[in-house]
Amino acid sequence: MPDTIGIGITGGIAAYKITDLVSRLKKAGYDVIVMMTEGATRFITPLTLKTISGREVLTDLWQESREWKVQHIGVAEQIDLLVIAPATANIIGKMAHGIADDLLSTVYLANTAPVIVVPAMNTNMYQNPVVQDNLNKLADYGCIILEPESGELACGVVGPGRLPEIDVIYQAIMEELHPKQDLQGKKLMVNAGTTCEDIDPVRFIANRGTGKMGYAIAEAAQKRGAEVILVSGKSNLKVPAGVEFHSVWGAEEMCAVMLELQPDCDIIVGAAAVGDFKIAKTAEQKLKKKEGQTTQLVLELVGTPDILKELGKKKSKGQIMVGFAAETENVLGNARKKLKSKNLDFIVANDVTMEGAGFAADTNIVTIIDKKGDTAALPQMSKHHVAEAILDKVVSLMQK
């Protein structure tokens, strides 16, 4: 039987574009159940979607159903994927806080299948901290969030908030329903997060790394069939399902763990924000300032292990190693030096001062440079899609 896809349409001006998505899915042989909020029916009629999908469009939580004993439960149990597009600030808020006051929000709560959320709204609304917090909550709950495109919106504002092209949404659906299995039988190790170096029992030195890039790589690799080891420094992110997880604190510990695990790995990706320095001598007790005096604290720092360089020295034949170069100046030049000194197969360079490419951002703007000197500059995209591009490059090297 074909996969069944639930399409939830909410009250945004981009609602009319979803007719093309439904049409493409139907032509590809999928069963499509369309659900529309009351607001969505103000932009496009249920009859249009009924004609394209070939089945009744669901709009009312209380409407009687011949197909399901309890409609919202029956729909939730039948679908293999739920796609909400366009997703307005209203539905995103409901989903993030468990509010179920209409058909679509109720189906979402009863649903156990993967969920793709495609935000589309006014730029100021999208960038409102409340909306961003709600999207982050949904991501933490396991929803796949597609980043909106930037451009001129229907309201005349220019900025992020446009519904992604239907091709992008369609591809995301295909990736979720039919994930690539081109890493089957391979073991991939990736590090992530920030390393922490103790000053005393209370304080430590760290950096702005959050682990988003490394965790995205771990999740994407696992979905593509790899056996994944995630070695993570400090991060507040949820560990992706199905990966072997090692929690570490400082750079020395991370290096030791990765060196121990390296011989069994086919692919190693260094995505962690590893600190370059640590305290020469950690204080045994909490350092205190002198009462009533202005004091100066001088810390002596010494270098930490260059983890990828150490791994590069022990790189075995056929083992693929990938590094990151998070730079603030001379990005490509510095990246090329690291590529060579660490014995990498390719390096992913980015300027962390650019908007949409820095630490904690959900997006990244990177250039991939391989040891032959070939470069590929990628546009701003979600870290999930950057992870997929990195793995595509890995696969291409494996096939040579």
Domains of the chain (ranges; CATH) run 4-177 (3.40.50.1950), 187-282+290-398 (3.40.50.10300)
Query: What is the structure's pLDDT at 179?
Result: 86
Q: Taken in order 22, 26, 28, 29, is the CA torsion positive or negative?
A: positive
Active site members: 155
Q: What is the pLDDT of residues 128-177, one digit of tens each?
A: 999 999 998 998 888 999 989 888 777 777 888 899 999 999 999 998 99
Cα 243 to its chain centre, rounded Å, is 16
Range of lowest pLDDT (113-127, 148-162, 194-208)? 148-162
DSSP 93-128: HHHHHT---SHHHHHHHH--S-EEEEE---HHHHHS
- The mean pLDDT of 106-117, rounded to a whole number, is 96
The answer to whether residue 1 scores a pLDDT higher than 70 is no
Q: What is the mean pLDDT of residues 80-101?
A: 97
pLDDT greater than 80 at residue 296: no
* Per-residue pLDDT at 340 exceeds 80: yes
Whether residue 291 has pLDDT greater than 80: no
The 10s digit of each residue's pLDDT in 254-272 is: 999 999 999 999 999 999 9
Mean pLDDT of 185-209: 96
Give the pLDDT confidence of 348-358 residue by residue, as tens digits: 999 888 887 77
Quote the pLDDT of residue 292: 64
Question: Once rounded to an integer, what is the mean pLDDT over residues 171-185?
Answer: 93
In what side-by-side order are the strands of the sheet with 187-192?
244-247, 227-232, 187-192, 267-270, 320-327, 346-351, 367-370, 375-377
Which pLDDT score, from 0 to 100, does residue 140 have?
A: 84
pLDDT band of residue 114 (cuts 50, 70, 90) is very high
Mean pLDDT to the nearest integer, 43-55: 96
The reported pLDDT for the residue numbered 93 is 97
Distance of CA 257 to the CA centre of its chain: 25
Per-residue pLDDT for 284 more than 60?
yes
pLDDT of res. 61: 86
What is the mean pLDDT of the segment spanning 367-392? 92
Per-residue confidence (pLDDT) for residue 293, from 0 to 100: 62
Enumerate the β-bridge partners of residue 192: 232
114 to each of 252, 261, 399, how far by Cα in Å?
A: 38, 32, 31
Work out the pLDDT band at 71, boundaries 50, 70, 90: confident
> Is pTM beyond 0.85 here?
no
Determine the distance from the C-alpha atom of residue 122 to the mean position of all C-alpha atoms in its chain, rounded to a whole number.
Answer: 23
